[in-house]
Structure 1
Amino acid sequence: MKYVLAALLCVLSLSSAARAQDTGPIVRAELRPGWRQADGSHMAALHLTLAPGWKTYWRSPGDAGIPPEFHWQGSENVAAVGVIWPTPKVFYQSGMRSIGYVGEMVLPLRVTGRTAGQSMRLQGTIDLGVCSDICVPQSVDVGVVLPSEATNRDPLIAGALADVPFSRSEAGVKSVRCTVGVDSRGMTLRTDIDLPTGKSTETTVIETANPLVWVAEPKTHRAENGHLISETSLSHVEGSAFALDRSGVRITVLRKGHSVDILGCDN
């Protein structure tokens, strides 16, 4: 529901253009088998290689993107699959912000088995939005055996894990204050983060625990006291009233070098 507008823009409006062109092999996908971890879980990864000039999207893709959807039916001895998101890039097209990856994406997957100490088979279908001058929905089928005896770390997966945003404590965040207000469009949210200044331009992505709440692109700046301030508006995609759970607010600060992933407000 949250991405209905983006889906219409990327699929319906451009579908005739997509059919009119020979897009060729836009995306190649594989699951990398990775290694078994000390806690019994298995670290694997989805590896996407995109044709030159094409991009795909992050979990919160912005106003002009569609997030990946994962369907793991057909897997064996798999209880859960957790997706670990490396730091994405920010793109602007037709005045709208989108967030994702260009050229290649290695998405680490933490796989938990039903029976400890046994091999697993991870198998499923991934639905993707991929865009260049046009947008084309893609559905890729992937599968791999995750051997219980695998211990060697895959450098490609390890590199993606090293590019995951810092946590709040790792980044030295001292406080996160969230102030809720109202305007003509609905609810407003102002976040005030005591975070050491980075060496590059900073932009933020704000998510909520409610998937039916749409969050506008925040306006972000540094205040005189050095705090990072972001201001945005929120509305329910069905026009309904809603309450904001501050503990479910997720703020990602994107910048060159390591970004920061902050879960929850202090107030």
Structure 2
Amino acid sequence: MPVTVKTCATPAEAAAALSSDRGARYIAGGTLVMRALNEGDVGITTLVRLADRALAQIRISGARVSLGAEVTLLAILRERELSYLHPVVRSIGGPAVRTTGTVGGNLFAASPFGDLTAALLALDAMVSVQSGYGARDMTLEEFLAGRERAAGTLALGVSFERPASPDAFRYRKIARVKPKGASVVSIAAHVPNMGGRVSNVRIAYGGMAATAIRAKAAERALEGRALDEAGVAAAVAAAAEGTSPATDAIASAWYRREVVGVHLRRLLLGLEA
């Protein structure tokens, strides 16, 4: 079946094209859409693209960071002021994937992929979206919760505050093929230290549900505690609470629940994998 490519001039035009055609998919880097086409997905009949260079821009103003949806993973690696995200990006695919894969595409990656999304969730990111109702900002958590129902919604970019200190943001990916395989689980944590105790804790997982999710029970258990064995133990005890991992070719749901606490402990205590 032939596939039509439609180039739009504005986000509103692209959102309208997506919402008016069930077979339309947005394409930027193509690491998800082209894979689906190559694997024979006949439900895709139209590829929608947007000729807007602003979507490929990185903006850093003070502590606020904005990444356009078409910023590539490679562009993040090249930006020295985003060094805290470099370990995340290096854990995703190989050079070809990082050259073409985009921030926006990663937001739509199904588990066990989407490691950057887990990191952005831990950074309390906001997502700018365009739909038939106009443009608006929403939390990444809200975006992920409604992602599968959001036909015709176009992600324009994400924004977040940079980590409070160099050691406040932590990331670990557990994969059978290292360093770039699909995740058994990925863990990102933002743990600002205030007077020896952590405050405004955010912990996010990849591979522990259909999308990246926050580990809210672990966050509550760790809030206000020291990052020592006793404080971390409380978070570890609640590590798998609220998760719903899948059984797939990478790992079973049982195994993911068993190991997530082990790796959360090592991440929070700064131990080697």
Taking structure 1 as the reference length, the TM-score comes to 0.28
Look at both structures and tell me which one has the larger radius of gyration over its CA atoms. Answer: 1
Q: Which has the higher strand share?
A: 1
Q: Which has the higher helix share?
A: 2
